[in-house]
Amino acid sequence: MLLHIDAVLSEEEAARCRAALEQADWVDGRATAGYQSARAKHNLQLAEDHPLALELGEHIVSVLEKNALFMGAALPLRVFPPLFNRYDGGHSFGTHVDNAVRQVRSTGHRIRTDLSATLFLTNPEDYEGGELVIEDSHGAQSVKLPAGHMVLYPSTSLHHVRPVTHGARISSFFWIQSMIRGDAQRTLLFDLDMAIQRLAADSRNDLSAVQLTGIYHNLIRMWAEI
Ligand code: NI
């Protein structure tokens, strides 16, 4: 499932992040790439242990923990501390697949990448190109969202970032290990969750909503790895 999550950060918050990041020291993005993706990756990145990356990353994770849509769709077990990248002057990232397992440098913890997330921090009108193109079961989906909006997609998908031919595109990107490893099961749980919420809005459906909520939790009990 590919999901847009609107306004993870407000426009003002995204602008503040962007202003701070514009002053930061960027390094070659290949620092965190695997062997195959290093050959395709041409962008800049904030070092993983850069104080600004840690500060903004913590804020993003704390905001996401209160975001019902994110929590319901990702069913997160662990979130990789958000990283930040910058594409300008023709930078691009050719077709690749994200590494299956990533180690958090500060803690040594390993995270299985079930879901990939890109949080856009620059508004689309401020740069040309830079679409994130994700190949999913419905074909290639091109994603370019307003500042503060995020896309969540299965890390199993091939994806690329088209060249930024004008302006600069600054984003945060990170991975999530979900309690539910498989995209099919996770999507089914999310659809069920959404349907229960619609049903529960009408008090005449109380008993059905309770029964279906029980089924939802029993499926999580059956499938969750924690
Ligand atoms: Ni990637």
Q: How far is the CA of 199 from the centre of ligand 1 (A)?
A: 37
DSSP secondary structure, 25-94, as one string:
PPEEGGGG--HHHHHHEE-EE--TT-HHHHHHHHHHHHHHHT-HHHHHHH-EEEEPPPEEEEEETT-EEE
How much is the pLDDT for 90? Answer: 94
Q: For residue 32, what pLDDT is reported?
A: 76
| Predicted local distance difference test score (pLDDT) of residue 214 | 98
CA 180 to each of CA 78, 88, 194: distance values in angstroms, whole numbers, following the listed order: 12, 36, 17
Residue 218 CA to ligand 1 center (angstroms) comes to 33
Query: Average pLDDT in the 175-193 region?
Result: 98
What is residue 136's three-state secondary structure? Answer: strand
Q: How close is the Cα of 101 to the center of ligand 1, in Å?
A: 13
pLDDT one-digit tens code per residue, 11-34: 999 999 999 999 999 999 888 777
pLDDT tens digits for 204-220? Answer: 888 999 999 999 999 99
* pLDDT above 80: residue 128: yes
What pLDDT band is residue 119 in, cutting at 50, 70 and 90? Answer: very high
Nearest to 223 by CA among 190, 176, 174: 190
